[in-house]
Structure 1
Amino acid sequence: MLLERLAADWRENPPKGPVIAAGSTGSVPATADLLAVIARLPQGAVILPGLDRTLDDESWKALAEGKHPTHPQAMLARLLAHLGLRRDHVRDWPLTKTDRLRVAARALRMTQIAHAMHPTKLDPEEGCPDPDALAGLQRIDCRERSEEALVAALLMRETLEEPERTAALVTADRVLARAVRAQLARWNISVDDSAGEPLSLSPPARFLQLVASTLAEDFAPVPLLSLLKHPLCALGEKSGNARAFARRLDRFERKGRFLLRGPRIGAGLAGLLAEAEKLSLPKRDCKRIARLNQIFAPLTGLFEDRHEERAGLPELISAHLAVAEALADTGTGDGARRLWGGDAGEKTALVMERLREGALHGIMVERDEYAGLITAVLERESLRRAWGGHPRLQILGTIEARLFHADRMILAGLDEGSWPPLNEPDPWLNRRMRAELGLPPPERRIGQSAHDFVQACGAEEVWLLRAERIDGVPTTPSRWLQRLSVLSREADKPHDAPAPLAWARRLGEAPEVRSCPPPAPRPAAALRPKRISVTAVETLMRDPYSYYARHILGLDELPALDAETGPAERGILLHDILHRYLAERMTRDMPLARAKERDRLLEIAHAAFADFSNRPAVRAFWWPRFLRIAEAFLDLQKQREADGVRPVLLESKTEMALLDDRVTLVAKADRIDRSPDGVELIDYKTGNLPEANRIAAGYAPQLPLEGWMLERGAFRASNGKPLSGPVAQLSFWKLKGSGDTPIERKRIQDHEARIAEAAVGAQRFLERYLQGDAPFLSEPRAGLEAYPAYAHLARRDEWAGLPELDSPDDDGKGKS
């Protein structure tokens, strides 16, 4: 609209002074109309960029008619047709003698490129026979984008070796541009990017996003810790105190229960504070959580009195900014200065204020959508530095490069989808509809990109860079590279890697490192534990190194932050419900009616499931399965009681001295029942049951060892006397809750032999590992440990399966 009004005004009232329009191809109809007016002004001039006079008339006519819109000259041909001019009507720009020499030196190259871009034919035989036609134009195909960035950085760094020589990187890939800037930083070179940096990555903008994310995710551990660790977060204290507070919260643990790690119990800051007080978090840190709750009150208060999690956008933005300033305050009222100071702070404040002013009253935003809105707004903005870039190096977008000249032009990211861009289909208008409405074809952008590419190839020295893969995905070379390759018959020429590519690969080379041998730690006897549980015996047999790392080095696996509830939590939950129910049932002389027993079991289950009230998936997926388990369990218990089988011990802990009292074996049995035939040990399982061949081979000794301990009187009844009677059965009960058998029972066959073998094998292992000097090898028999938690610590991937590495002898001693 503005261009149309300007064109109309100049038609009626031509400017008295000169009017010059330079660098435009008139791709926008309103711009083309304005150029037509300027061309007819008394002192008007239109300077066309890179008009090709060598293209044959037939092809030029086709371009002017709108055919071949991807050709570099397509826009100029249509513009001249719109102006009613032929190419011979356009005069050449007067050049100085130096410029004429420079243009003449590259005329052969530009002719060859023009031939490569011909809209209808590409015949290598018709190209220029001169082998030096493309002199000064070099192509490098890199393996990955990271290598491409390093090559571009090396080319720019080499340029600085010659005084006053300049270089420019031209690319449409902003990720690549940022990677090149990062590579140049290794030489302490700072380069301006004409596209700027994403504002969303600046500290103030990132801080605002973290505040919004923390609110949206109801103060989940990951965004909460990210917010507390941000340099701008202070909580009314020195900024370093907030980061120290975050580290303490991250690792705080009491009796195996982490505050933030593992499945989250309480929701929101109120839930976090309640859990912190329950775990006896130091009072000073509890006060910081309460202060954090106070600071966030303007935001959380917008949703407390509403039935829906929605709030007005202007009020939400105002509260958001107030909370951010309060979080950044170090106790001296400097929150606004710290947050909005500097170029990034000023730009972020301007964007947020513009968003607030533009937000219409009455627009409601969901609590969990606000963070996405803020991120989307900030990602659209760029931050351009006012100063600080190197005077002889530039990183440019394809449009900015039209106005820039450098001695060395590096055209990078030359892959289909990047340069040229993807030809995105219009979801609303097809080609015919676009033509009827006077809209340009979708391929117009490709034609503009082609024009930019050809113009950039006119520099004194040009490097064409691309990556064969980006993020592991193969890429397709730009169509212009493919055309030039065909014309120069580059694919048929054997050649060494260009020097910059060799430099880049040389920089990435690591010195030859011999793989480390398998670890075989031999701690002194005094450092080896004297107490061991039956489950740890199983670990020791399967993977001695895991036992060493956990029980000697004390390296427990750290739970994930805000971990999803998984099989381990499901197993603990079901164990707890059945234990509490059976413990209560054992106190009654007579069982209740079936319906009442069911009601009591479900009442206990409801109380246990309440701890996972903030995990809807637990209720949705686990509860239906538990109901099937409950029905099967009650039926099974009734049948066993009718057969004279009753539980006598639940979750019973015991220990037994071994090896002349030098080692203590510890165990906790899930359940021990007495039957007319003797005593049955039952182990509840929610995962896979041990395979029969592993039990027979002695690699699943937990239940047989408990049977051995029971036979030796280690388990005691409620009256303090050892349980008497033979071990009648060793059973696994798999609590599936699915299929025809919600509870799958599996007995260990030939359990007497398994008990005897486990007793002998365990004592032999304990003698060697806890009393002897046997090395703790990493999975000496691969595959026995399904989820080896310490394989990375043992660097197993480095040495496992490598034939050149020495393997331990049978006695556990490596070759010398």
Structure 2
Amino acid sequence: MTEQNHGPDYHITPLLPLIEGGFQLLTPNLRLARQIKAGWDRDQAARGARAWRPLAVQPLESWLRQQWWQRCGRDARLRRVVLDQGQALALWRQVIAADQQQGDYQLLQADATASLAQQARNTLLRWQQSVREEGLARELSLDPDCAAFLRWCRAFEDALDNKAQATALDVIALLAAEPACPEQRVALLEFDEVPPLFDHCLRKLCTEVERVQPPAGQATMRARAYPDRGSEFRGLARWVRETAGREPEASIGVVLGDMRGDRARLEYLLRREFDCLDGNYGSLPVNFSTGWPLAEAPVVRDALMALAATGDTLALGELLGLMRSRFLALPDRGGALAQRFITRVFDTGREPVPVATLRGLANQGASADQPGLRIGGILQDLARRRDLRGTAAPSVWAGRFREILGQWGWPGEGGLDSIEYQQVEDFYRLLDTYAGYDAVCGPLHRAAALQLLRQCCRDTVFQPQTADSRIQVLGPLEAAGLRFDHLWVFGMQAGQWPAPARPNPLLPMALQRRLEMPHASAEREWEFSAGLLEQYRRSASRLHASYSRELDGAPELPSALLADFEWVQPETAAAVPEAWLAQWRARDSERLDDHRAPALSPAEKDSVRGGSGLLEDQSQCPFRAFARRRLRVEPLAEPSLALSAGERGSLLHNALFALWGELGDAGQLAALDPPAEGEAVARAVAAALDALPAGRRHAVGHAYCEQEREHLERLLREWLAVERQRGAFVVAAREQGADIVLAGLPIHMRVDRVDRLADGSTVIIDYKSGRSSAGDWLGERPARPQLPLYGLASEAPVAALAFAQLRPRDCKFSGLGQTAAAEGIEVDIPKAVRGRVTAQNWEELREFWRRSLEQLARDFIAGAAAVTPLGPQSCTWCGLQPLCRIDAVEEGAE
């Protein structure tokens, strides 16, 4: 490995007397042990040695477990099956679940409670406290939460004893209980404190314990204040890049208090600064000390989704994830058949979707010449597997999960990059570890086995194997004791350094404070943070700190720990890197006007679909018309436990169609007495509900359908009261087709209803269940041009156009015409259209509509496709925002 690639140097010289004296070197963490070992190896190589003995250095806790293993070799009494952290956590979950069943209570966050219980017991073990002791048990019993923990802890320990099992800390406690046998010489490096359990073991095992701290350094300490969090992140990233460029041999450390929450943001900014976002993605010269949950890795996430398809239902998000995954062998996932499949699935309105439904839809229309989708075949094969229905041990499920992933073709036929390959290898290793849960869990059903696997993936941290680097990003504890030329502590707000006290809620507060357990009090947190900062000061040549004056909109103060720091002006970091701006200034760019699509060809004119809705789309937003009518892009239906707005609208239309098919005219309506009217309405609503697909009726349930029936019957009777106030009319047509050609664009449409008046003229009616107004027909781009379009297409004289608004307690007509065929139809045209249209009478208004609609048709034919919505309401139910990027367009305009 070249000199510029290895990590920060550790000055081994002060440790040489201890090493030569045969001392075992012990560290607080593995990272420091590795750095010391690397420093030893470099020192030996620099001295010209060609071979040397490995340095005896390891973390204290690992060394103590090693001593226990050695004792086990001499004393079989001590032998235990050691559970790893995940297996122990699974046992905690079982114990707590069993206690819930016996106690008839429910925890809102059972997994989080299990983690808290595990932490509480580990803290008790480290501080040599046992729930078997009467005094501690009595203290725990005084608080309900602590008493629950006492029950869980005793049950947990009984379960361990029954199977001769132990946790990693239990074996150290067993070691501490053994007779003293001092025979070791150890040196503790960089320890601020040692838990009582570990200290007790050291006194029993060691003849000599040396505590080694590096000499007090002369670090320069500088602090910077940034206006907000974003500026602090950008300033840090820029400083790292500039310092690395200015001092290529310098070791640089960054301490993040919240590695889980802040890593992604800092990594992106570092990649941006080092130009490692695209082709150089794998060349970032930064090493992160912690990874991320294996379950969040895309290749593992998709594997878990594939395994989820073995159940009875599948979430829509999981289905879309499967169909998009490049890690599964679904070669037809991007074809037209797959698109129709997804549309049909969403049209069912189910969430989650029964897997049986998915199988049927995936194979819909399949034949010998045209096989169904590959996903349908896989789901069919999985449905035939009888071994997925019973219970089995985790080790058996591990083998079955491997087989199922093989059926899906995971991890795919394409090549994996280095990181993905490591993630796949880690997942296979996890499956091997998963088999070890037999001793903890016993036989499991498929769902429980899969949930356990998911939990294991969430609990397993994936750390990419990358080349060591002189730039390190670490957590606060991991940075302690490491040597750096520059060390930057990020986010030193008063509320985070020191952090607020976070005592464990399952242990008595008084106990935690009395024994000075971690996070028990503000004083304990202050001492801890001050100790960390002192370690940083001793280990770094130059110590930097930063904080944000504002966090989440609230003002912040600097930590009091920064009192001895020199405050310097922070470097300004542009929101866009200078290198990007330089490329932008030197661009030789080409501008493409995408506001206009290719003109409509003659063939497209014959095949374009949409009817009157086409012109409404063109009016509401030209891009919407282009996307829906020419690209044929439609947003997927929203899953719902109830009927969608469109389905409810269809029910209303169908009920009115049936009702007026029976009544026929105003005379028949007037002749109905209330009971007869109720019966006619009931028959019409029943016919509409019967026309609803059986699958949808089953999905929403009988009770919902009955509720919808009652609603429709009330609404229709309220509407008939409005119709009774009209003069004589005959319903001449219902759902009648009509055709018109505008500016060469053929349009086919269907009219809800046409009434013929006594003078032979007609009133064209459009049913609406929402608020409607004749004002929507006015303006150069009429918001709802359907009725004017119907009026132009009518061969008979049109006396009026009207919306029939059917809303509970707000039923009415709203329209324009030359005849007041119903209350709500305005015949004073100049007054009705004032300020929006120049028209003095009905005929002039009809001529205006012809001109404006022909212009919309011409625009559509010419390819007008600008993202220019008629108003904000045009975007409310559009659903095409990811395609048109209206937000980006508006930001660019500003």
TM-score normalised over the length of structure 1: 0.66
Question: Which of 368, 382, 385 is the matching residue for 1:296?
Answer: 382
> Residue 454 in 1 paired to residue 622 in 2?
no
1:327 aligns with 408
CA distance in 2, matches of 1:672, 1:301: 62
> Residue 464 in 1 paired to residue 552 in 2?
no
Structure 1 residue 575 displacement after superposition: 2.7
Structure 1 residue 347 displacement after superposition: 3.1
Deviates more, 1:29-38 or 1:637-646: 637-646
How many aligned positions are there? 666
> Residue 558 in 1 paired to residue 671 in 2?
no
> Residue 166 in 1 paired to residue 262 in 2?
no
> Residue 139 in 1 paired to residue 224 in 2?
yes
> Residue 498 in 1 paired to residue 593 in 2?
no
Matches within 5 A, 1:335-354: 343-354=425-436
C-alpha spacing 1:580/1:296, structure 2 compared with 1 (3 Å): farther
C-alpha spacing 1:279/1:146, structure 2 compared with 1 (3 Å): farther
Helix, strand or coil for the counterpart of 1:602? helix
CA distance in 2, matches of 1:545, 1:166: 54
CA distance in 1, matches of 2:321, 2:424: 22
- Contact 1:156–1:167 (8 Å) recurs in 2: no
- Contact 2:737–2:748 (8 Å) recurs in 1: yes
CA distance in 1, matches of 2:815, 2:853: 27
1:26 aligns with 193
Helix, strand or coil for the counterpart of 2:692? helix
C-alpha spacing 1:149/1:286, structure 2 compared with 1 (3 Å): farther
Deviations 1:742-801 (A, max 9, x none): x55445423595853442123223554555989776548656846484788777656769
1:395 aligns with 473
> Residue 407 in 1 paired to residue 407 in 2?
no
1:196 aligns with 291
> Residue 44 in 1 paired to residue 209 in 2?
yes
Structure 1 residue 4 displacement after superposition: 4.9
- Contact 1:518–1:796 (8 Å) recurs in 2: no
CA distance in 1, matches of 2:719, 2:356: 42
- Contact 1:414–1:464 (8 Å) recurs in 2: yes
- Contact 2:767–2:803 (8 Å) recurs in 1: yes
> Residue 375 in 1 paired to residue 460 in 2?
no
Helix, strand or coil for the counterpart of 1:448? helix
Structure 1 residue 415 displacement after superposition: 4.6
> Residue 14 in 1 paired to residue 182 in 2?
yes
Structure 1 residue 605 displacement after superposition: 0.4
C-alpha spacing 1:546/1:349, structure 2 compared with 1 (3 Å): closer
Deviations 1:163-213 (A, max 9, x none): 543223332322433444553444613544333342223355323321344
C-alpha spacing 1:752/1:615, structure 2 compared with 1 (3 Å): farther
- Contact 1:544–1:779 (8 Å) recurs in 2: yes
Question: Which of 272, 275, 281 is the matching residue for 2:361?
Answer: 275
1:127 aligns with none
> Residue 177 in 1 paired to residue 263 in 2?
yes
Structure 1 residue 654 displacement after superposition: 0.8
1:760 aligns with 847
Question: Which of 616, 624, 638 is the matching residue for 2:707?
Answer: 624
- Contact 2:658–2:684 (8 Å) recurs in 1: no
Helix, strand or coil for the counterpart of 1:462? strand
Question: Match of 2:191, as an amino acid?
Answer: S
Question: Which of 762, 771, 791 is the matching residue for 1:688?
Answer: 771
Structure 1 residue 608 displacement after superposition: 0.6
C-alpha spacing 1:504/1:603, structure 2 compared with 1 (3 Å): closer
CA distance in 2, matches of 1:315, 1:293: 21
C-alpha spacing 1:538/1:297, structure 2 compared with 1 (3 Å): closer
CA distance in 1, matches of 2:302, 2:565: 52
Helix, strand or coil for the counterpart of 1:647? strand
2:340 aligns with 252
Structure 1 segments unaligned to the other structure (5+ residues): 50-92, 96-102, 107-134, 235-241, 333-337, 714-725, 805-816
- Contact 1:518–1:794 (8 Å) recurs in 2: no
Structure 2 segments unaligned to the other structure (5+ residues): 1-169, 414-419, 817-824, 830-840
Question: Match of 2:537, as an amino acid?
Answer: C
- Contact 2:293–2:458 (8 Å) recurs in 1: yes
Question: Match of 2:850, as an amino acid?
Answer: Q
CA distance in 2, matches of 1:416, 1:250: 55
Question: Match of 1:105, as an amino acid?
Answer: Q
Deviations 1:269-322 (A, max 9, x none): 43234335556799655152442223433789756x9xxxx9998876665444
CA distance in 2, matches of 1:557, 1:649: 33
Question: Which of 723, 726, 732 is the matching residue for 2:803?
Answer: 732
2:47 aligns with none
- Contact 1:153–1:180 (8 Å) recurs in 2: no
Helix, strand or coil for the counterpart of 1:172? coil
1:105 aligns with 218
1:222 aligns with 317
CA distance in 2, matches of 1:540, 1:290: 38
2:738 aligns with 654
Structure 1 residue 399 displacement after superposition: 2.2
Helix, strand or coil for the counterpart of 1:559? coil
- Contact 1:653–1:667 (8 Å) recurs in 2: yes
Helix, strand or coil for the counterpart of 1:407? strand
- Contact 1:194–1:395 (8 Å) recurs in 2: yes
CA distance in 1, matches of 2:749, 2:575: 62
Deviations 1:198-234 (A, max 9, x none): 2223355323321344456823443123124434322
Question: Match of 1:168, as an amino acid?
Answer: G
1:605 aligns with 689
CA distance in 1, matches of 2:325, 2:893: 48
> Residue 709 in 1 paired to residue 822 in 2?
no
Helix, strand or coil for the counterpart of 2:476? coil
CA distance in 1, matches of 2:333, 2:201: 62
- Contact 1:150–1:180 (8 Å) recurs in 2: no
- Contact 1:207–1:230 (8 Å) recurs in 2: yes
Question: Match of 1:327, as an amino acid?
Answer: W
Deviations 1:111-148 (A, max 9, x none): xxxxxxxxxxxxxxxxxxxxxxxx35343637445962
Question: Match of 1:196, as an amino acid?
Answer: G
Deviates more, 1:633-642 or 1:575-584: 633-642
- Contact 2:741–2:747 (8 Å) recurs in 1: yes
Deviations 1:394-431 (A, max 9, x none): 33332222242122223234456766545335434453
CA distance in 1, matches of 2:428, 2:892: 57
Question: Which of 560, 574, 586 is the matching residue for 2:652?
Answer: 574
Question: Which of 482, 505, 520 is the matching residue for 1:427?
Answer: 505
